[in-house]
A and B are shown apart, each in its own frame.
Chain A
Amino acid sequence: MKVYWFFYKQILPVNLALTTALGIASIDLFYWVFVSFGFFLSVWLYSFFYKKSKYIYCNLGYSKGRLVLGSFLINTVLGTVFLPLLWI
């Protein structure tokens, strides 16, 4: 869990920035962008700009697919729990 959370923390700021930028167009899109397009684009951007960081996770025995899946689940849970607050 620690490893997924660490990876997730690296991509969260990018995801939030992307989601906010796209969410300006329509707040209804905010949740969906955050849990899908924003998440996957930020994973791709992080992997592209910090190529060497993959060795941390590989040395701990984690494949990229496993990491992305784990952090996707964290992202979905956090999105589901916190983003409804936007409408309150």
Chain B
Amino acid sequence: MKELYADSIEFSYRNQYSLLSGVFINCKPGEVVALLGRNGCGKSTLLKILFGILKPKNGLIRLDGKRIQSPYLSKEVCYLPQDRFLPSSKTVQQMIFFMLKDGDKIEKIMSDPILQKVLFQKIADLSVGEQRYLELLLLLAQKATYYLLDEPFSGVSPFLKEQIQELILQHRNSKGFVISDHHYNTVLDISTRILLLQNGGCRSIENKKDLEYFYVPEGTFDD
């Protein structure tokens, strides 16, 4: 069964209170899971644990039914961190050639209308939105099935937000996404399921009214 599954995840930073206590989260191809929660509630930490670069104090991670310690080593899971991760001294074209092997994929990305204009620019000279768009395109061109996106819409212009949403929707049929973001409206537009990380655990949110009750001010979704 194709699924990224984590259960009983417990985590605390050194000398601190328990940040995650018994978190359960799963994601299947075809799903876009919106992971919401207040600042410092552990969303990024949970994504890093799911990716495998942070070890939980306790817990179990299964990838397609197999228990696994570091999901990223399987190349089945990709993670888009909050901050820029591509080296600023390299050009867009250099990074495309570095991160992709398949000639068709390289050609497809090089002909992307947004990236075409900035192909020979250094990463440092791109806007935040262009950088996020490039990072996401490069990750989506990998063979991974599960994508953990940490605030992909943060600091991005409305036009590029739409483009990023479009990209996610295009790949939704074959890939599964877990997206955390403060711009909950942008995430909710494309999500198939909502999880709220609160008090160290994940709460499933059935509808927007539930979200008003637990997370956003009352009346936010009144039309």
Contact surface of A with B, Cβ cutoff 8 Å:
2, 6, 10, 50, 52-56, 58-61, 63
Give the A-B pair count, Cβ closer than 8 A.
Answer: 39
B residues near A61, Cβ cutoff 8 Å: 72-75
Q: Is B84 part of the binding interface, using a Cβ–Cβ cutoff of 8 Å?
A: yes
Q: Is B17 part of the binding interface, using a Cβ–Cβ cutoff of 8 Å?
A: no
* Further pairs besides A10-B87, A56-B86, A61-B75: 4, Cβ < 8 Å: A52-B85, A54-B85, A58-B79, A61-B73
Contact yes or no, A58 B51, CB < 8 A: yes
Within 8 A of A (CB), among B133-188: 139, 142, 144
- Give the complex CA separation of A61 and B77 in angstroms: 9
A46 → chain B closest CB, angstroms: 11
The list of the 6 closest CB pairs from A to B, nearest first, reads: A61-B75, A55-B85, A52-B85, A58-B72, A59-B78, A55-B81
Contact yes or no, A56 B75, CB < 8 A: no
Contact yes or no, B78 A2, CB < 8 A: no
Contact surface of B with A, Cβ cutoff 8 Å:
51-53, 70, 72-75, 78-79, 81, 83-87, 98-99, 139, 142, 144
Contact yes or no, A63 B87, CB < 8 A: no
Question: Chain A at the B interface: mostly helix, strand, loop or mixed?
Answer: helix
From B70, B75, B83, B84, contact of A60 by CB (8 A)? B75
- Give the complex CA separation of A63 and B52 in angstroms: 10
Among the interface residues A10, A52, A61, which one has the most CB atoms of the partner chain B within 10 A?
A61
Using A52-B83, A54-B53, A58-B53 as known contacts, say yes or no to A63 and B142 having CB atoms under 8 A apart.
Answer: no
- Give the complex CA separation of A12 and B51 in angstroms: 29
Contact yes or no, B79 A55, CB < 8 A: yes
B residues near A56, Cβ cutoff 8 Å: 85-87, 99
Among the interface residues A6, A50, A54, A58, which one has the most CB atoms of the partner chain B within 10 A?
A58
Contact yes or no, B79 A59, CB < 8 A: yes
A57 → chain B closest CB, angstroms: 9
